[in-house]
Amino acid sequence: MGYNVAIDGPAGAGKSTIAKLVAKEKGYIYVDTGAMYRALAIHFLKKGIAPENTEDIIEACRDADVSIRYENGAQQVYLNGENVTGMLRTEEVGNMASKTSAIPDVREKLLELQRALAKENDVIMDGRDIGTNILPNADVKIYLTASVETRAQRRYDELKEKGEDCDLEQIAQDIKERDERDMNRETAPLKKADDAILVDSSHMTIPQVVSEICSHCR
């Protein structure tokens, strides 16, 4: 069994930035489970299926193969043999992932892949249900959050830096809607595990958050 750190929290809380840095400092593998849901979302978008069309989404899961490889320490996500890593982080893909991740068959499809990675490696795994559902016996559980305003501003800065056209109000609205969906779905909703350590990063710098989390890890 690997040493497992679970890091859950809402969209834009900084989970991936922080988890990558903790992984580097501690020598763990960083596993981004949102990227797996995003890869499936690309599959559904390519097929032109609406997220509300649950039956077709479930059917489409059958011919989707999501796999993870590590190249120079960075996670690469493959969808049916194609490296889709560069296509994952758009708002369209994120919204599709948020909607379709509520479907139990979609979650089931990725569960074994996530558990297998944690079994074989020392990992810091980020997502929504890692501490509550995927790795209930994780060695350390972190619930990382921040205010909606802070998260919207961070997402805005990230998209601007990539040269994407975006609107701060719209991003804040999207974040609220995504929180609502992620926290209120029936299957594996986002919530803090009872034994998770709460870290609110609204007024913390990145090094402060990394150091706080590292202090709880082996």
- Chain residues in the site for ligand DC (CB under 6 A): 11, 33-34, 37-38, 94, 97-98, 101, 127-130, 178, 182
Residue 67 counted as an annotated binding residue: no
- Cβ closest to ligand DC, residue 162 vs residue 215: 162
Q: Report in angstroms how near the CB of residue 180 gets to ligand DC at its nearest.
A: 11
Q: Tell me the one-letter amino acid at 81.
A: G
Q: What is the CA radius of gyration of the chain?
A: 16
Q: Which two tokens stand for residue 122?
A: 């020392």
Residue 9 counted as an annotated binding residue: yes
d(CA 156, CA 164) in angstroms, rounded, equals 9
- Cβ closest to ligand DC, residue 51 vs residue 94: 94
Residue 15 counted as an annotated binding residue: yes
| Nearest Cα residue to 132 out of 86, 73, 195 | 195
- Sheet of strand 74-79: strand arrangement: 66-71, 74-79, 82-83
Q: Which two tokens stand for residue 217?
A: 């890890």
- Cβ closest to ligand DC, residue 122 vs residue 129: 129
- Cβ closest to ligand DC, residue 140 vs residue 215: 140
Residue 13 counted as an annotated binding residue: yes
Q: Report in angstroms how near the CB of residue 217 gets to ligand DC at its nearest.
A: 20
Residue 211 counted as an annotated binding residue: no
Q: Which two tokens stand for residue 128?
A: 């929504």
Q: Report in angstroms how near the CB of residue 53 gets to ligand DC at its nearest.
A: 18
Q: Report in angstroms how near the CB of residue 179 gets to ligand DC at its nearest.
A: 9
Residue 48 counted as an annotated binding residue: no
Residue 10 counted as an annotated binding residue: yes
- Cβ closest to ligand DC, residue 38 vs residue 141: 38
Q: Report in angstroms how near the CB of residue 176 gets to ligand DC at its nearest.
A: 12
Residue set of the binding site for ATP: 9-17
Residue set of the binding site: 9-17
